[in-house]
Amino acid sequence: MQSPETLTYGFGDTPYGRIVVAKSARGIRAVLFGETDAALVAELKARFAGTDLVPAGIGMTRMIADVVSVVRGEAAAGALVLDLRGSPFQMAVWTALQAIPAGDTASYSEVAEAIGKPGAMRAVAAACAANPVAVLVPCHRVVRSNGALGGYHWGVNRKRALLARETAA
DNA sequence: CTATATAAAGTGC
DNA sequence: GCACTTTATATAG
Q: Which nt sits closest to A123, CA to C1'?
A: B8
Q: Report the CATH number that the domain containing residue A103 is assigned in CATH.
A: 1.10.10.10
Residues A59 and A122 in one domain: no
- Give the pLDDT confidence of A7-60 residue by residue, as tens digits: 999 999 999 999 999 999 999 999 999 999 999 998 898 888 888 999 987 778
- For chain A residues 1-20, those near strand C by a CB cutoff of 7 A are none
Residues A146 and A75 in one domain: no
Residue A82 DSSP one-character state = B
Residues A27 and A67 in one domain: yes
Residue A77 main-chain phi, psi, to 5 deg: -65, -25
Residue A72 located in a structural domain? yes
Residues A67 and A99 in one domain: no
Residues A159 and A98 in one domain: yes
A139 is catalytic: yes
Q: Is A43 helix (H, G, I), strand (E, B) or coil?
A: helix
Is the C-beta of residue A111 closer than 7 Å to nucleic acid chain B? no
Is residue A31 within 8 Å of A21, Cβ to Cβ?
yes
- Give the pLDDT confidence of A117-155 residue by residue, as tens digits: 888 898 999 999 999 999 999 999 999 998 899 889 898
Active site residue: A121, A139, A142, A163, which one? A139
Residues A94 and A142 in one domain: yes
Range of the domain at A123: 88-168
Please check the confidence at residue A86 and state whether its pLDDT lies above 90: no
Residue A1 located in a structural domain? no
- For chain A residues 126-165, those near strand B by a CB cutoff of 7 A are 126-127, 130
Q: Which nt sits closest to A87, CA to C1'?
A: B9
